Amino acid sequence: MRRMLLLDDLSATVGEEDEAKTIINGLSLEVPAGEVHAIMGPNGAGKSTLSYVLTGRDGYEVTGGSATLDGVDILDMDPEARASKGLFLSFQYPVEIPGVPVMTFVRTAMNAQRKLRGEEEISAPDFIKKSREIGKQLNLSTEMLKRPLNVGFSGGEKKRLEIFQMMMLEPSFAILDETDSGLDIDALRTVADGVNALRNPKRGMLVITHYQRLLDHIKPDKVHVLANGKIIKTGGPELALRLEAEGYDGVLGEAA
């Protein structure tokens, strides 16, 4: 089994030098190709920080350990280089991009990634065909895809647009940060169907969530519990059910 994402004793701080706070503290994790892993944890455990550290956001500094994707160190790469390497983050709070229609945005992103990888640009007809098919699966109308990205969209629509981008860009590794928040039951199912459609033996995924609910629809191969910046417990899907039943205190008390 190929190890796709490998984090070894990773530590990271947030904030300026004097006020830097350690949020990720000796975190080790591996997600093999073809698997979906879930990360659960209480508020403040470092879940979103982990997603930002891995995607290279400014303001997060790695102070120790390593992170590799397909054997390549990603920590020194620019965010756009990581993206073209196949790393995708579905944002917890998708950002509004005024004046840039969804289609223009995704096509720009797709071609920018292809350029960085030394590939040909996608042709306009191919792009339109693909976007129509995926839009249909996610209940996103052509009219919606012509509007500026995330501007004036509801919380659920924004999350569906994240999945739309993921399905268009076909990353090799996807991190879904609280994709279930803000979704009603129907939208949750649509989103989960989209994610499940992308599951394949070559692709890895890390699903960050507070609740078991999403994991009813996206069955994880493994569940990790993140607390105080490190993984303190790993198990199968049954661990998520136990967390739901006993709460983090119950499980964390046992692990401590």
Residues engaged in binding other proteins (CB under 8 A): 55-58, 78-80, 82-84, 88-89, 91, 94-100, 105-106, 108-110, 112-113, 116, 148, 165, 169
* Phi and psi, residue 173, nearest 5°: -140, 125
Burial label, 81 (beta-carbon count in 10 A; 0-12, 13-18, 19+) = middle
Cα separation, 12 vs 181, in Å, equals 25
Choice between 153 and 222, CB closer to other proteins: 153
Q: Residue 242 Cβ, how far from other proteins at the closest point, in Å? A: 33
Residue 211 Cβ vs other proteins, minimum distance, rounded to whole Å: 24
For residue 220, the one-letter residue type is P
Min dist. Cβ of residue 70 to other proteins (A): 17
CB of 4 to other proteins, least distance (A): 18
Q: Which residues contact 93 (CB under 8 A, 6 or more apart)?
A: none
In angstroms, give the least distance from the CB of 129 to other proteins.
Answer: 21
Cβ proximity of 165 and 109 under 8 Å? yes
Angle at 106 between CA 221 and CA 148, to 5 degrees: 115
Nearer to other proteins, 41 or 164 (CB): 164
Q: Which is nearer to other proteins, 171 or 220 (CB)?
A: 171
Nearer to other proteins (CB atom), residue 63 or residue 108: 108
The Cα 209–Cα 40 span in angstroms is 5
Quick one: 53 or 239, whose CB is closer to other proteins?
53
